[in-house]
Amino acid sequence: MDLSGFLNDLRAATGAPGGGAAAAVTGAMGCALFQMVAGITLNSPKFAQGREQLEEIRSVADDLHRKLLALADEDAQAYRNVERAFRLPKSTPEEKAERRKTIQEAFVGATKSPLKTLEACLEAMALLPGLLEYGNPNAITDVAVGFLLLEAGAQGAAMNAEINLASIKDEEFKQASVDSLEQARKQVASHKPRLNAALEQSGLGTVG
């Protein structure tokens, strides 16, 4: 992805890409920082322990980074599908019924995309303990910024999913999604004590 081109598209008055795509790209940047920290640690002969774990962290973060960039495009397309559904004709009862059905399908798709972004950000956050244990301690701020980017991506994705859920009539899907969002927010919060302890040990402020 060309970042300059993406930002130009993002600031355009078109609606897509929007907040959901921005959340995915933000998460991808968090993954990239995790990759960087793992990489610079592996490149230093001073850090002999945890090399296998760091290689795994770098590999997983790379996969998630690529996945999140793809999800940015998917999210933008999902929004366009909603717009397209609302433009369908509604002159006859048949057209109205088809339009309602298509709108609902589009909103479900527009909810699933940010939920996938949220899941990817959570998977990346799960790499945090390994980075804190084996990563170069001089890169602790890079780890913290990476986490904050992942948190922003996760929270942004969650909000985008929530606003779309309000338009969905499938109660089973809505409840399952609400439950997932609640669990996700707990997972995000669960990582902060360990990160804050590492930051305080380095004489730095905490992430809240």
Cis status of the peptide bond prior to 17, with omega within 30 of 0? yes
The predicted structure's pLDDT at residue 98: 98
The H helix count followed by the E strand count for the chain is 8, 0
Give me the domain span that covers residue 71. 15-201
3-state class of 2 per DSSP? Answer: coil
Residue 149, classified by CB atoms within 10 Å of its CB into exposed (0-12), middle (13-18) or buried (19+), is buried
- How confident is the prediction along the chain (208 residues), in pLDDT tens digits per residue? 788 899 999 999 888 899 999 999 999 999 999 999 999 999 998 888 899 999 999 999 999 999 999 999 999 999 999 999 999 999 999 999 999 999 999 999 999 999 999 999 999 999 999 999 999 999 999 999 999 999 999 999 999 999 999 999 999 999 999 999 999 999 999 999 999 999 999 999 999 8
Phi, psi of 73 (to 5 degrees): -65, -40
The predicted structure's pLDDT at residue 47: 87
The predicted structure's pLDDT at residue 56: 98
Q: Would residue 9 count as lying in a domain?
A: no
Q: Would residue 2 count as lying in a domain?
A: no
Comparing CA positions, the residue from 145, 140, 155 lying closest to residue 188 is: 155
The predicted structure's pLDDT at residue 48: 80
Q: Would residue 3 count as lying in a domain?
A: no
Q: Would residue 132 count as lying in a domain?
A: yes
Amino acid 52 reads: E
Tally of CB atoms within 10 A around 185: 14
Query: Domain containing 114 — which CATH number?
Result: 1.20.120.680
Q: Would residue 206 count as lying in a domain?
A: no
- CA 94/CA 104 separation, integer angstroms: 16
Could you tell me which residues come within 8 angstroms of residue 94 by beta carbon, excluding any fewer than 6 positions away? none
**Overall number of domains in the chain:** 1
Q: Would residue 6 count as lying in a domain?
A: no
Residue ranges of alpha helices (H) inside the chain are: 3-11, 19-42, 51-86, 93-125, 128-134, 140-165, 171-190, 192-201
Q: Would residue 66 count as lying in a domain?
A: yes
Q: Would residue 120 count as lying in a domain?
A: yes
